[in-house]
Amino acid sequence: MSQQQPLLNLIDDLSGDLRDPSLLWQAAAIIVSIVVGFGLARVLKKRFGRKEVQGGVLGFGVQSFGRVLAPLTVVVLLYLSRLWLDRYHHVNLIKVALPVFGSLVVIRFTFYLLRRVFARQGRAISPSMLAFEKVFQLLVWLAFTLYITGLWNDVFQFLDDTKLPLGKTSKISILDVLQATMSIVVTLMLALWAGAALDERLMQMQGMHTNLRVVLGRTARAVLIVVAVLMSLSWAGMDLTVLSVFGGALGVGLGLGLQKIASNYVSGFIILLDRSLTIGDMITVDKYTGMVTQINTRYTVLQGLDGMESIVPNEMLVSGAVQNSSLSNSLVYITTKVSVAYDTDVDFVVQLLTEAVLSVERVLKDKAPSVQLSTFGADGLDLTVGFWINDPQNGRGGVTSDVNRAIWRALKDNHISVPFPQREMRILGPVPAPFAPADSTTVPKE
């Protein structure tokens, strides 16, 4: 029936069909597409988002892509309805509905990519990201308004005709600049999204070592970004041979001013590959002590027992000495000292302290604590009490305090005294007579 015509003004075309009976068919097609599209998306989200299938790739994609799936399904159904009704009726109402839901797909898909890349693992959405989302949403609806009012072609032609000087002889249109920018942004966002999705999938593979998963994720993301940049530049019409100049400049920069940065990046891959550190290890490097929570390509994050996070450059972890409490095993030996009086039965005290230490929950029972007579001190017998723990990530101060309290209760209950420094002062020779006060006066006798 109707022939495909160039877009002039969808609003004018729609106003001419208000009294056409075909408008009811179009409205019915739109309503059915919306109901079926959102209903099908909801069913798919429930079906593949259940706990028993959440580990699958399909369930993973549907569960995280749910907000985009509904309008995308509506667009597909509207397009099929347009192809079918276009043979018998006008489809101007569907032509207006298609860009409406198409704009919604673009907005939700962009938000989905942004939040998958920049707001993962429970991180809060930054105000700058929210502002960007609002600006992008406004631009998309502005483009939709220009499209349905027929002004899109005029704006497109204006951007193509407006030239910007590029050097002395070359010129480039604003449209080419915008297309190149959009090409680079879109391909980069897709690459970052693919890298984030691959990284999450790798982290769920329990049969692979944590460091190997991190290395694969970082490498895959870097490769995807490089490929995305090269593809976008090629699509924008840029000669990739000019990148050789940039590569030479980058090499000189690395050799002169970026040595530390390059060293940290290389050190990051060395740490991940040789598995000297793993996420969850308790380490001490320089003056920083804490649990490894992140191993990035440039730095490693240590979280102390007080909650303070330290960002340590990877070069320090490779070139300096590092104490790792859980490299081959998580067993840690801790000692504390106690003194008793000289008249105390040493054998009884050793047994008493051993039982007191074993009463603490975090002390290992299969590796017996040791009590040793260290020195004969000036005030009493000095004993060294040693014990083992296997949870250094929970700190040493707490378990040491619990052991000392158990020792103190045991000594008090058995009336064993803990000596403290005592000094005796002896005066040799006659005691000197007290001097008279300086302000007193003596009167001689007559």
Question: Is residue 257 located within the same domain as residue 115?
Answer: no
Does 145 lie in the same domain as 92? Answer: yes
| CA dist list (Å): 355 to 295, 361, 413 | 42, 12, 13
More confident: 67 or 50? 67
Identify whether residues 317 and 352 lie together within a single domain.
no
What 3-state class would DSSP assign to 144? helix
Q: CA separation (Å) from 196 to 162, 230, 232, 245?
A: 39, 20, 20, 31
pLDDT of residue 314: 87
Residues 320 and 390 in one domain: no
At residue 379, the pLDDT reads 82
Which CATH number do you get for residue 400? 3.30.70.100
CA distance 97 to 79: 10
132 shares its domain with 98: yes
The pLDDT score that the predictor gives to residue 10 is 57
In this structure, the answer to whether residues 196 and 317 fall within a common structural domain is no
Inter-residue contact 309 to 302 (CB < 8 Å) = yes
Is a pLDDT exceeding 60 seen at residue 51? no
What is the pLDDT at residue 60? 43
- How far apart CA 142 and CA 107 sit, in angstroms, is 12
Interior CA angle at 146 toward 140 and 149, to 5°?
140
| Residue 2 included in any domain | no
Q: Is 306 domain-assigned?
A: yes
Q: What's the mean pLDDT in 78-93?
A: 78
Of 181, 199, 231, the one marking the end of a domain is 231
Distance CA 42, CA 44 (A): 5
State the total domains in the chain: 3
In a domain, 200, yes or no: yes
127 & 223 share domain: yes
Q: Quick one: average pLDDT of 321-336?
A: 82
Residues 407, 382: Cα–Cα separation, whole Å: 14
Residue 376's DSSP bridge partners are 381
| Beta carbons of 315 and 267 less than 8 angstroms apart | yes
Q: Which two tokens stand for residue 58?
A: 């399909």
Cα 391 from Cα 78, distance rounded (Å): 60
> What are the beta bridge partners of residue 283?
290, 324
pLDDT band at 70 (very low <50, low <70, confident <90, very high): confident
The answer on pLDDT for 189 being more than 70 is: yes
- Does any domain span residue 236? no
Q: Domain span at residue 200?
A: 10-231
Same structural domain, 344 and 394: yes
Choosing from 291, 307, 324, the residue where a domain stops is 324
Lowest mean pLDDT among 7-16, 170-179, 189-198: 7-16
Q: What is the mean pLDDT of residues 24-28?
A: 79
Q: What is the pLDDT of residue 56?
A: 45
Is the pTM higher than 0.75? The answer reads no
| pLDDT exceeds cutoff 50 at 59 | no
Query: 39 and 65 in one domain?
Result: yes
CATH number at residue 284: 2.30.30.60
Task: Check whether 57 has a pLDDT greater than 50.
Answer: no
Q: Is 52 exposed, middle or buried (0-12, 13-18, 19+ CB in 10 A)?
A: exposed
| pLDDT value of position 78 | 83
Both 260 and 350 in one domain: the answer is no
| CA neighbours closer than 13 Å in the CB half-sphere of residue 79 | 9
Query: Of 160-164, 232-236, 290-294, which has the strongest mean pLDDT?
Result: 290-294
> Of 289, 324, 359, which residue is a domain's last?
324
Mean pLDDT, all residues of the chain:
76
Residue 284 pLDDT > 80, yes or no?
A: yes
Enumerate the H helices of 322-372 as residue ranges: 346-358
Residue 442 lies in a domain: no
* 216 is a domain residue: yes
Determine what percent of the chain is predicted with pLDDT higher than 90: 10
Is 438 contained in some domain? no
pLDDT of residue 209: 66
Residue 4 and residue 141 in contact, taking contact as beta carbons nearer than 8 Å: no
One domain for residues 98 and 225: yes
What's the pLDDT score for residue 271? 81
Distances (CA, A) of 237 to 29, 89, 183, 358: 42, 42, 11, 74
State pLDDT tens for residues 116-164. 766 655 455 667 767 777 787 788 878 777 776 767 777 878 877 887 7
Is residue 382 domain-resident?
A: yes
Predicted confidence (pLDDT) per residue in 332-361, tens digit: 889 999 999 888 899 999 999 999 999 999
Do the Cβ atoms of 229 and 184 come closer than 8 Å? yes
73 and 52 in a single domain? The answer is yes
